[in-house]
């Protein structure tokens, strides 16, 4: 296995051809009980569903003998290859890289889910169907669902601050998300406190020392997703300011560097709006 295709240290391979499974060692017995190493085992979990709705197929799976649950996500091609190839891949590197990046960021203290497994099932020859599993974050909902639920102003502003802090920590630890949008953030409220978890790290990378330009590009991608999903209005200028203030904190140099890029990024927003329905 090439270095680029290695999963996190300590994870175990419990594969049985035609299924390759790399799993958190605490899940080794559960993986067999759940039939994840059988050719049709993971497909049966997806048939039951239970996961969040989105572009990709997901399944919610209870861990035998535990109160924990797993979220399984089937990987898909995006862009121009999406309609052509869908869930069919060459090789197994993509889920292993996601698992490794997620584990490294979490170990560094970034607000990302706990990685559980990577699975590849051979379809024919070198072609594979790929799945990534993470532990469920209990009592959390994606940020789009949170906004569509109509939270009052104090809850919304707490959530905006939580998102700002989470994205800042994610970036400070070198996290570069390939698709930072409103559904790839989880919001968890506990009393008067709110936290945010950054999820779906497919094709994410760790690049220490992100520049202000790289940071702003990701922040504005998130902003465009609010606009595209029709939830920018409830966030409003106060919510955006709350996010920005929490992201920058007391770092005045970063704040000024990001602000210098606002006009340029807003011009990009205007171009993107032409393609929105």
DSSP element (H, E) containing 129: strand 127-135
Question: Per-residue pLDDT tens for 56-104?
Answer: 689 999 999 999 999 999 999 877 666 677 788 988 999 999 999 999 9
Question: Per-residue pLDDT tens for 235-245?
Answer: 999 999 999 99
Instruction: Kindly write down the DSSP assignment for every residue of 143-187, as one continuous string.
Output: HHHHHHT---HHHHHHHHHHHHHHHHHHHHTTEE-SS--GGGEEE
Query: Taking 80 as the threshold, does the pLDDT of residue 225 lie above it?
Result: yes
Q: How far is CA 91 from CA 1, 14, 94, 117, in A?
A: 11, 18, 8, 16
Those residues with Cβ within 8 angstroms of residue 71's Cβ, 6 or more apart along the chain or in another chain: 51, 52, 58, 59, 60, 61, 113, 133, 134, 135, 136
Please report which confidence band the pLDDT of residue 53 belongs to, taking 50, 70 and 90 as the band edges.
Answer: low
- Structure confidence at residue 48 (pLDDT): 85
Higher per-residue confidence, 76 vs 198: 198
Q: How far apart are CA 104 and CA 206, in angstroms?
A: 9
Q: How far apart are CA 218 and CA 179, in angstroms?
A: 8
Q: How far apart are CA 130 and CA 231, in angstroms?
A: 32
Please report which confidence band the pLDDT of residue 187 belongs to, taking 50, 70 and 90 as the band edges.
Answer: very high
CB 166 within 8 A of CB 111: yes
Task: Give mean pLDDT, residues 144-169.
Answer: 98
3-state secondary structure 206-218: ECCCCCHHHHHHH
Question: Per-residue pLDDT tens for 1-20?
Answer: 454 567 899 999 988 889 99
- Structure confidence at residue 54 (pLDDT): 53
- Structure confidence at residue 3 (pLDDT): 47
- Structure confidence at residue 273 (pLDDT): 81
- Structure confidence at residue 80 (pLDDT): 67
Average pLDDT, the chain: 92
- Structure confidence at residue 52 (pLDDT): 63
Q: How far apart are CA 99 and CA 15, in angstroms?
A: 16
């Amino acid at each position: 296995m090439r270095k680029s295709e290695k999963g996190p240290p300590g994870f175990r391979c419990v594969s049985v051809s035609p299924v390759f499974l790399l799993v958190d060692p605490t899940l080794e017995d559960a993986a067999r009980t759940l039939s994840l190493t059988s050719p049709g085992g993971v497909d049966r979990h997806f048939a039951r569903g239970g996961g969040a709705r989105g572009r990709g197929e997901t399944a919610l799976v209870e861990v035998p003998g535990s109160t924990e649950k797993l979220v399984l996500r089937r990987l898909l091609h995006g862009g121009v290859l999406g309609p052509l190839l869908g869930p069919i891949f060459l090789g197994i590197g993509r889920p292993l890289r996601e698992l490794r990046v997620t584990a490294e960021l979490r170990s560094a203290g970034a607000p990302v889910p706990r990685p559980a497994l990577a699975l590849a099932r051979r379809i024919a020859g070198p072609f594979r169907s790929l799945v990534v599993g993470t532990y469920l974050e209990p009592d959390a909902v994606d940020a789009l669902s949170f906004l569509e639920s109509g939270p009052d102003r104090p809850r919304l502003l707490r959530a905006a601050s939580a998102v700002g802090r989470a994205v800042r920590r994610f970036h400070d630890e070198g996290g570069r998300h390939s698709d930072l949008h409103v559904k790839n953030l989880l919001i968890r409220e506990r009393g008067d406190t709110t936290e945010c978890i950054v999820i779906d790290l497919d094709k994410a990378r760790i690049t220490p020392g992100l520049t202000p330009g790289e940071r702003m590009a990701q922040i504005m991608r998130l902003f465009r997703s609010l606009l595209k999903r029709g939830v920018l209005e409830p966030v409003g200028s106060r919510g955006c300011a709350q996010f920005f203030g929490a992201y920058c904190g007391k770092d005045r140099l970063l704040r000024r560097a990001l602000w210098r890029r606002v006009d340029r990024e807003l011009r990009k927003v205007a171009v993107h709006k032409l393609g929105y329905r």
